[in-house]
């Protein structure tokens, strides 16, 4: 089902019409159209850009260095090669900008730097809070393991491939980001039954 039309009258929203011809009563419209990285300056400077399938942005290596070895980029606009996931990522969250800037500065100073922080974001929606760590787009995992009670909105979801944790999202469960990220970094298969059991400490599953 896809949206085809917003139906309104006298400047007021009345309904949303879908491609099956149905009209669904509505009073407000929220348009979540995403964000595009502003790469105009980089393009003008002749810097390489990342392909669209990798989120676009300015292409940088694991040291956050652009195609010009004297220019670095960090934050939401930078598409960097992530050694842990062996792919190019562009992360839209302030934590990425917070951590990427100092890493780029260390690289500029000649220090041995590999920006490989586990991707992370959080969101609070009224009484629902969540934190997500990792990278697990469709097609990269074969199982989602739920730990806790999703019906009560207090749980952790793990995206798993061949027993290895690729990503984890804790919902109204706190102080678990560190062990979740440790499981992701370990790249080691875990017992998924133990992973789903809230009585088994996550720390005990980290090799």
Higher-confidence residue of 53 and 179: namely 179
Above pLDDT 90, what percent of the chain?
85
Q: What pLDDT is recorded for position 55?
A: 86
The predicted model gives 60-67 an average pLDDT of 96
The predicted model gives 85-100 an average pLDDT of 92
Q: What pLDDT is recorded for position 75?
A: 94
Tell me what the pLDDT averaged over the chain comes to: 94
Please, are residues 66 and 75 in contact by the beta-carbon 8 Å criterion? no
Residue 172 in this model has a pLDDT that exceeds 90: yes
Please, are residues 158 and 165 in contact by the beta-carbon 8 Å criterion? yes
Residue 141 in this model has a pLDDT that exceeds 90: yes
What are the backbone dihedrals phi and psi of residue 103, each rounded to the nearest 5 degrees, phi first?
-65, -40
What HEC string does the chain produce?
CCEEEEEEECCEEEEEEECCCCEEECCCCCCCCCCCCCCHHHHHCCCCECCHHHCCCEEECCCCECCCCCCECCCCCEEEEECCCCEEECCCCHHHHHHHHHHHHHHHCCCCCCCCCCCEEEEEECCEEEEEEECCCCCCCCEEEEEEEHHHCEEEEEEEECCEEEEEEEECCCCCHHHHHHHHHHCCCCCHHHHHCCCCCHHHHCC
Q: Alpha-carbon distance 124 to 130, whole Å?
A: 6
Q: What pLDDT is recorded for position 2?
A: 83
Q: What pLDDT is recorded for position 36?
A: 87
> How does pLDDT run across 108-122, given as a tens digit for each residue?
999 999 999 999 999
Q: What pLDDT is recorded for position 64?
A: 97
Q: Alpha-carbon distance 63 to 73, whole Å?
A: 9
> How does pLDDT run across 187-198, given as a tens digit for each residue?
999 999 999 999
The predicted model gives 85-90 an average pLDDT of 92
> How does pLDDT run across 8-44, given as a tens digit for each residue?
999 899 999 999 989 999 988 888 777 889 999 999 9
pTM of this prediction?
0.81
Domains for the chain: give ranges and CATH numbers: 40-108 (3.50.50.60), 120-205 (3.30.390.30)
Residue 58 in this model has a pLDDT that exceeds 80: yes
The predicted model gives 144-162 an average pLDDT of 97
Provide CB contacts within 8 A for 173, sequence distance 6+.
Answer: 148, 154, 155, 156
Going by pLDDT thresholds of 50, 70 and 90, the confidence category of residue 53 is confident
Q: Work out the number of other CB atoms within 10 angstroms of the CB of residue 159.
A: 23
The predicted model gives 74-81 an average pLDDT of 94
């Amino acid at each position: 089902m896809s949206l085809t039309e917003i139906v309104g009258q006298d400047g007021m929203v009345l309904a949303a019409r879908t491609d099956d011809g149905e009209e669904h009563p509505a009073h407000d419209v929220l348009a979540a159209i995403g964000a595009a990285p502003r790469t105009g300056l980089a393009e003008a400077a002749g810097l390489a850009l990342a392909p669209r399938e990798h989120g676009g942005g300015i292409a940088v290596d694991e040291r956050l260095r652009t195609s010009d070895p004297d220019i670095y980029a960090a934050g939401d606009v930078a598409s960097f090669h992530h050694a842990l996931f062996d792919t190019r990522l562009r992360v839209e969250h302030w934590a990425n900008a917070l951590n990427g800037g100092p890493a780029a500065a260390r690289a500029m100073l000649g220090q041995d730097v590999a920006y490989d922080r586990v991707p992370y974001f959080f969101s609070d929606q009224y009484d629902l809070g969540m934190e997500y760590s990792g990278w697990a787009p469709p097609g990269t995992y074969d199982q989602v393991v739920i730990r806790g009670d999703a019906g009560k909105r207090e749980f952790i979801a793990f995206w798993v491939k061949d027993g290895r944790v690729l990503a984890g999202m804790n919902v109204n469960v706190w102080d678990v980001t560190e062990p979740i990220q440790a499981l992701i970094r370990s790249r080691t298969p875990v017992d998924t039954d133990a992973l789903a059991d809230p009585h088994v400490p996550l720390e005990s599953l980290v090799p």
